[in-house]
A and B are shown apart, each in its own frame.
Chain A
Amino acid sequence: MTKEDCQKLVIDIISDIAPDENLSDIKPEVRLRDQLQLDSMDFLDIVMELRKRHGIEVPEADYMQLASLESCANYLTPKFQTRA
């Protein structure tokens, strides 16, 4: 699992959570909420989908780690690798 792979998995989830959004040009370093119509409820859905689809737990104290695609990849990639 590379960080690029991890970003693709997160984008797959976001495409279901925010199906009206254009995800083809997301800037990895920019906060997701600054470039997409995402609210706090959507982040709860992202956390749930990580749990359901991939068995990954994100404790509430770590939610800020999901702010951007880049921070998602930094935070989640080791979790995916540990899980594997």
Chain B
Amino acid sequence: MKHTRIVITGIGLTAPNGNTLAEFRHNLLTGVSGITMKEVRYMGQWPAGLCNYDPLKYQKKKDVRIGTRAGSISIYCAREALADAGVNLEARDKSRVGVYLGITEHGNVETENEVYNISQFKYDVKFWTHHHNPRTVANSPAGEVSLNLGTTGPAYTIGAACAAGNMGLIHAAQMLRLDEVDLAIAGGVSESPQTFGIFAGFKSQNALASHADPTKASRPFDKARNGIVISEGGCIYTLERLDDAVARGAKIYGEIAGYCVNSDATDYVLPNPERQAECVRKALASAGMTVDDIDIVNTHATSTPQGDIQECQAIAAVFRERKEPPAINNTKSFIGHAMGAAGALELAGNLPSFDDLIVHPTINVDELDPQCDIPGLVLNRPRAVKRVDAILNNSFGMLGINSTLIIKRYIAQPIRTP
């Protein structure tokens, strides 16, 4: 069961710089940032990553009104993934379809909006909407997907701070291996820029990015980085057991090779490079791989002064024994920190490397921080490479949750003959 092969067969996404994988990838290879200025309640203009997908492509106006932004993003991404995968849900047992979505947080948007709303009525709670509870329950985005698709299998979210995007895929692989479902619709979503609280919180923590040019605000590894750019987005995959995918002739983007989720157990906010390195090593062991097998490392680095250094230390510690380092990049430099969607989006931005053998860069690195100067960094321009057979994707989150996911190129095993 543990070794049942799980593959990715469809991808749907919306990022601040693209509403399809093709558009997203093109912009990652041509240096196009998606960060703009946003008016944040009580706080004025701040850099943020906002998506411009069409909610009405898959939802009625009324459903957009009743639901949440995270739910709408989830529905768009799930439908796009299913279309990409060529899956006809109507021909399937919908009770065997699972929806597993990673979230950093959920409900802050609606609660803030309602508090603001009643503030216009002298805080009289009779003006508080009855939609508040269904909008803010933690399973809400996944539930909205099940309502939209009519799937009757398990549909819930996985709260894992900013490690959540990877967690959606990891959990999907586990449920497929347990034979709980036949098709998993999984990934991560974020509606975070629609709240002021997350901006205010990071600002109070001295961890909110500021820059006159919003496209330059997210700059991991650069000496002048000054914090996180908060973004929304979503990326949802269809995952299947390999046999099922092959049987229906599905296109296969890659195969789950291994993963690890662990905890720092050291601090509410500050990362722990030792535990991060352990997470990466355990993921490699889970994949039956060594450091020599990894071709791309997509970093979690969020453009904070301390966090980037600590992740670089962790990666350098793991890969120091390699003669030729893997290519190391960062997607947040283009799209900011998409929170619960980050891991899933960042993986999607790198999966096309299996086909085009190009590694997208980290942009906005005008002066590399010497403390982030580790071997293998791909800076400012894409790099052509000779081999991409395995991608290692890091996502770490508050309260010390770490996730590493390794995707490998899908290679069909030769058919055995008697």
Contacts and interface: CB of A to CB of B under 8 A. Distances in A.
Contacts of B129: 45, 48
Interface of B is mostly: helix
B133 to A, nearest CB: 12
Interface string A16-51: 111110000000000000000100010011001001
Interface residues of B, number: 11
Contacts of A18: 62
B121 A52 contact: yes
Interface string A47-67: 010011000000000000000
Interface of B: 60-62, 65-66, 121, 126-127, 129-131
A44 B127 CA distance: 11
A20 B130 CA distance: 21
Contacts of B130: 41, 44-45, 48
24 contacts: A16-B65, A17-B62, A17-B65, A18-B62, A19-B61, A19-B62, A19-B65, A20-B60, A20-B61, A20-B62, A37-B62, A41-B66, A41-B130, A41-B131, A44-B130, A45-B129, A45-B130, A48-B127, A48-B129, A48-B130, A51-B126, A51-B127, A52-B121, A52-B127
A15 to B, nearest CB: 10
A21 to B, nearest CB: 8
Interface residues of A, number: 12
A16 B121 CA distance: 20
A44 to B, nearest CB: 5
Given A19-B62, A19-B65, 11 more contacts: A17-B62, A17-B65, A18-B62, A19-B61, A20-B60, A20-B62, A44-B130, A45-B130, A48-B127, A51-B126, A51-B127
